[in-house]
Chains A and B, each alone.
Chain A
Amino acid sequence: MVEEIVVNPVTRIEGHAKITIHLNEDGSVREARFHVTDFRGFEKFCEGRPFYEMPSITSRICGICPVSHLLASAKACDDLVAVETPRTAVLLRRLMHMGQIIQSHALSFFYLSSPDFLLGMDSDPSRRNILGLAEKHPEIAKQGVWLRKFGQSIIESLAGKRIHSSDWIVPGGVKTPLSKEKAEAILSAIPKAVETALNAVTLFSKTLESLGDNVGDFGDFPSYYMGLVTRDGGLEHYDGRIRIMSSDGKIVADQLDPSKYFEYIGEAVEDWSYMKFPYYKPAGYPGGAYRVGPLARLNVSSRCGTRIADGLLKEFKKLGGNGVVQNTFMYHYARLIEIVYCVEKAEEILRDPEIFDMNIQAKASLNRREGTGVIEAPRGTLIHHYRVDEQGRISWVNLIIATVNNNLAFNRAVAQVAKKYVNGRTLSEGMLNRVEAVVRALDPCLSCATHAIGEMPLKILLYDSENNLVDEVGRG
């Protein structure tokens, strides 16, 4: 008798996202499958559109991290026009990127995840959110809100008060320079931002201690790790080359050309999912499963390149054997370290003598028929790859979204949690809570992970082999 449990988060986005857990005949968990929205339709939708519309179009893929798509898309367009983007424009784009990572990580940690471990994994779900947090730990909630605002204020300083800043970034550069006043305003908030981020690091260390062995429930498994690094192996989010590390800490590939991703990344398909399953080609499928995102980036990076973050990275690497941290829960930790890094980096960029230079856009029209843009989005490596016809109309698009890069990892992490908490013919609330928590740790870019400020409308249904409902837990 094979049973199927369906965890179906009702999402606000179109399409669907759900978790199905597949049992063996003896009731133990065989595997878990994480299904998310179909991005293929989007790729089709772009065909025939002028290439320079792509930053604007793709930044609508999601309202949570539009800046990521904007940047990856703009870089792919830069590639198509094949001109050198002025250094100041690159600095300003990087600055915006730092702002968005800060706000995205702050949202993930403070708003969505910290209620789980600060209020207790099994506390009342209707209070287990930022509002409940504000009641019990007002200081922490305030810090989270402030940090997120700080990140957003960087984006606004550059592009104005729009969520979709799509007409600020253009192929070949950016539209408007940064004003001195706005730069000053960001700089003056930097010390508080560093302090706030470091407070969160301390808070998280304490949480780690109190959780003890339970941390193992969060998806502790080996995989490959992928991320962009600088020429000397340092942490990199905007440019750089691809480095891949194995679960035992060996760098198995380094300084790979990101625009040649298809040479080393395979995209497998499964008949039960619209989403592809990227894997590291030399290791085969599904053995070549890799993780991306904050945890992967810190694993593959030899250094951060900023003072405080470098110290934190050293401590971080001690948490895993061979310097590789495999536990999915540590995504949170990695996120916080990245916030510190981004704040330090933002300061460095703002103090660059060329930051106010007026040469911010190289003007050019189409010069190539194929272009690729790869960045490290908050959630991991994001690839935009376009082909155009002779007029510059998109003829083919491939997008590998960060969340899709983590596809195999999601399934493994959820399966691991399920293995521990699903047993027999009844489901526990604890299982629901822990599935939620591990999904949040991976921070998929889906409205389901952010829905209703932290409370995920989840449903787990347990059917027997004759399709009779034998148990059901859920909320939302």
Chain B
Amino acid sequence: MSKPIELTIDGRKVVAEEGETILKAAKKNGIYVPTLCYLEGVSSFGGCRLCMVEIKGSPRLFASCITPVAEGMEVLTDSERLRRYRKWAVELLLAERPHVCSVCVANGSCELQQLATELGVDHLRVDREWTDYEVDLTHERFAYDPNRCILCTRCIRVCDEVEGVHTLDLMLRGKNSKVVFDLDENWGFSQSCTSCGKCSAACPVGALYVKGKPLSEVKKKDLVSFIMERRSGK
């Protein structure tokens, strides 16, 4: 048994386990923190910054999905400042690639779209990038449209940590990063892919999806945590 840690989140006294993240402690206590790159069941990446929280005594903001709890910590999950930053985070993601919801397979079941609605993003304050990546339709069952990818790496972590084959990885840097199959192979020609479909189930947007299926049937955010739970014998 690890040592219990006491902290306050939004003024509420909560108890967490040592080594646990702030996000986990908040979730366990029914406190909502928006997340995007975080996926229950796989490792955290801390890339999207949606889960930022304020910690008393520090001027900077912390990604709660990768920041461990500490004794006596005073955490704020919602504030004017946090909302402002989160809104910017979503806007920048939307601006990075051409997200045209009205013609996207994910329309209505997209996590980015949901967050945009939740945070009141009704226009972008920066110019959009109209990337022109080729869509990869070579796989018999799945499709990959890099133009909708937000580089959250959920697919990569799932493929590596859950399916165990590490077909997917990131190529290049910064906003030019691109999720690739094997050594930048077309999906249909990947040697390692087992066609399990977990990546499509984990993708929060319309970048990876099952051909010919509405996204509402494909996106299963809880699939990964379910698999991991079964594996751990819980």
Is B171 close to A, CB under 8 A? Answer: no
Q: Is the CB of A48 within 8 A of B103?
A: no
Is A43 close to B, CB under 8 A? Answer: no
Contact of A50 among B102, B132, B140, B143 (CB under 8 A): B143
Which chain B positions have C-beta within 8 A of A365? 140, 211
Known: A391-B137, A392-B137. A52 touches B211 (CB 8 A): yes
Which chain A positions have C-beta within 8 A of B137? 50, 391-393
Task: Compute how far the CA of A369 lies from the CA of B196 in the bound complex, rounded to whole angstroms.
Answer: 29
B134 smallest CB distance to A (angstroms): 7
Which chain A positions have C-beta within 8 A of B214? 167, 175
Task: Compute how far the CA of A243 lies from the CA of B145 in the bound complex, rounded to whole angstroms.
Answer: 42
Binds B, one of A11-19, A53-61, A106-114: A53-61
Which chain A positions have C-beta within 8 A of B211? 50, 52, 365
Within 8 A of B (CB), among A364-407: 365, 391-393
Contact with B along A163-175 (1 / 0, CB 8 A): 0100100110001
Nearest A residue to B145 via CB reads A50
Which chain A positions have C-beta within 8 A of B103? 53, 56-57, 60
Task: Compute how far the CA of A56 lies from the CA of B105 in the bound complex, rounded to whole angstroms.
Answer: 9
Contact with A along B127-146 (1 / 0, CB 8 A): 00000101111101001010
Known: A50-B143, A57-B103, A60-B102. A170 touches B212 (CB 8 A): yes
Task: Compute how far the CA of A60 lies from the CA of B138 in the bound complex, rounded to whole angstroms.
Answer: 27
Within 8 A of A (CB), among B145-198: 145
Q: Is the CB of B212 within 8 A of A49?
A: no
Q: Give the number of residues in B that approach A within 8 Å (Cβ atoms).
A: 15
Contact of A53 among B105, B136, B138, B140 (CB under 8 A): B105
Task: Compute how far the CA of A404 lies from the CA of B214 in the bound complex, rounded to whole angstroms.
Answer: 33
Contact of A391 among B102, B105, B138, B145 (CB under 8 A): B138
Nearest A residue to B215 via CB reads A167
Which chain A positions have C-beta within 8 A of B140? 365
Task: Compute how far the CA of A164 lies from the CA of B103 in the bound complex, rounded to whole angstroms.
Answer: 10
Task: Compute how far the CA of A56 lies from the CA of B103 in the bound complex, rounded to whole angstroms.
Answer: 6
Which chain B positions have C-beta within 8 A of A164? 102
Prevailing SS type, chain A contact patch: loop
Task: Compute how far the CA of A50 lies from the CA of B211 in the bound complex, rounded to whole angstroms.
Answer: 9
Within 8 A of B (CB), among A52-110: 52-53, 56-57, 60
A55 smallest CB distance to B (angstroms): 10
Q: Is the CB of B134 within 8 A of A52?
A: no
A364 smallest CB distance to B (angstroms): 10
Q: Is the CB of A52 within 8 A of B212?
A: yes
Task: Compute how far the CA of A365 lies from the CA of B138 in the bound complex, rounded to whole angstroms.
Answer: 12
Nearest A residue to B211 via CB reads A52
Task: Compute how far the CA of A57 lies from the CA of B135 in the bound complex, rounded to whole angstroms.
Answer: 15
Contact with B along A343-366 (1 / 0, CB 8 A): 000000000000000000001010
Task: Compute how far the CA of A50 lies from the CA of B102 in the bound complex, rounded to whole angstroms.
Answer: 15
Which chain B positions have C-beta within 8 A of A171? 212
Which chain A positions have C-beta within 8 A of B105? 53, 56
Task: Compute how far the CA of A393 lies from the CA of B143 in the bound complex, rounded to whole angstroms.
Answer: 11
Task: Compute how far the CA of A393 lies from the CA of B144 in the bound complex, rounded to whole angstroms.
Answer: 12
Which chain A positions have C-beta within 8 A of B102? 60, 164
Q: Is the CB of B212 within 8 A of A48?
A: no
Interface centre among B134, B137, B140, B214 (most CB of A within 10 A): B137
Which chain A positions have C-beta within 8 A of B212? 52, 170-171, 363
Interface centre among B102, B136, B211, B212 (most CB of A within 10 A): B212
Within 8 A of B (CB), among A415-465: none
Contact with A along B96-110 (1 / 0, CB 8 A): 000000110100000
Task: Compute how far the CA of A167 lies from the CA of B212 in the bound complex, rounded to whole angstroms.
Answer: 9
Nearest B residue to A57 via CB reads B103
Task: Compute how far the CA of A171 lies from the CA of B212 in the bound complex, rounded to whole angstroms.
Answer: 9
A365 smallest CB distance to B (angstroms): 7
A363 smallest CB distance to B (angstroms): 8
Task: Compute how far the CA of A171 lies from the CA of B213 in the bound complex, rounded to whole angstroms.
Answer: 11
Task: Compute how far the CA of A93 lies from the CA of B165 in the bound complex, rounded to whole angstroms.
Answer: 43
Nearest A residue to B103 via CB reads A57
Task: Compute how far the CA of A365 lies from the CA of B140 in the bound complex, rounded to whole angstroms.
Answer: 9
A133 smallest CB distance to B (angstroms): 33
A265 smallest CB distance to B (angstroms): 28
Which chain B positions have C-beta within 8 A of A49? 135
Task: Compute how far the CA of A363 lies from the CA of B212 in the bound complex, rounded to whole angstroms.
Answer: 9
Task: Compute how far the CA of A392 lies from the CA of B132 in the bound complex, rounded to whole angstroms.
Answer: 17
Which chain B positions have C-beta within 8 A of A48? 132, 134-135
Which chain A positions have C-beta within 8 A of B132? 48
Which chain B positions have C-beta within 8 A of A56? 103, 105
A79 smallest CB distance to B (angstroms): 16
* 19 other A-B residue contacts (CB within 8 Å) besides A52-B212, A60-B102, A365-B211: A48-B134, A48-B135, A49-B135, A50-B145, A52-B211, A53-B103, A53-B105, A56-B105, A60-B103, A164-B102, A167-B214, A171-B212, A175-B214, A363-B212, A365-B140, A391-B137, A391-B138, A392-B137, A393-B135
Can you report 17 residue pairs joining A to B where beta carbons are below 8 Å apart?
A48-B132, A48-B135, A50-B143, A50-B211, A53-B103, A53-B105, A56-B103, A164-B102, A170-B212, A171-B212, A175-B214, A363-B212, A365-B211, A391-B135, A391-B137, A393-B134, A393-B135
The 10 residue pairs across chains A and B that have the minimum distance between CB atoms: A391-B137, A57-B103, A167-B214, A392-B137, A60-B102, A50-B137, A56-B103, A391-B138, A393-B135, A60-B103
